[in-house]
Amino acid sequence: MDFENGEVICFNKPLDWTSFDLVNKFRYKLSRRLHVRKIKVGHAGTLDPKATGVMILCTGRATKRIEEFQGQTKEYVATLKLGATTPSFDLEKEIDATYPTEHITREKVDRVLKTFVGRIEQIPPAFSACNVNGKRAYELARRGIEAPLKAKELVIDGIELLAYDLPVVKIRVVCSKGTYIRALARDIGYALDSGAHLTALERTRVGEITLDKCLSTEDIDVFLEQAIPAGRPV
């Protein structure tokens, strides 16, 4: 493999790793294996620390393909807890409010999910990387500053209810670039006349790349040993 010329490598990002943690880990091990001081490595689509799943890394000239991968359809499996919200809409922050769930039925959840299919407007989470007057929204949120975030148009190709065990539901979401599943959880909770936040999120597909095609971070050393045999000219 020619990493300096450009390669595409897919990983299953671990829980509590940032996207940059994964990039930095792979870049460090790759540069050491190649005996170079610097090599370009980037990722195609951020995953939150509390999310796992498909993460595409591009090296060298293949970083020019990042925008191509970012524009491809994504698929997620999300676990929502109804009746409670957090400021981050996931487990990064503690629960800040609780709501009734007694009125929620499986049929009601099914009906509400259908209303999100198609072209929708979504306001990004305050704890996101959206740019607000030159600052990241999460930087302002962590300082207690409320930043006005504009709604963005996106497409939800499909939502399927996978499991229902009130107050927990599991859904599969197929969506376009720019979709915040945390914000979708927030909006689903609101549409159910309750509240909701993510307790687990896994990106299961980006375009044609699925989890079964992804490496574990524990496989990096073995992968590089096979891709760059010892003694090979670099």
Q: Which sequence positions are flagged as catalytic?
A: 48
SS3 168: strand
Looking up tokens 């009125």 gives: 103
Which ranges constitute the DSSP H helices of the chain? 19-34, 66-70, 106-114, 137-142, 181-191, 220-227
Which secondary-structure segment (H or E) carries 146? none
User: What's the gap between Cα 63 and its chain centre?
Assistant: 19
> Is the separation of the CB atoms in 182 and 190 below 8 Å?
no
Looking up tokens 């197929």 gives: 174
**d(C-alpha 97, C-alpha 80), whole Å:** 15
Contacts of 194 (CB under 8 A, 6+ apart): 82, 83, 99, 100, 101, 103, 104
C-alpha pair distances (Å), 26 with each of 7, 20, 22, 206: 13, 10, 6, 20
SS3 40: coil
**d(C-alpha 44, C-alpha 209), whole Å:** 12
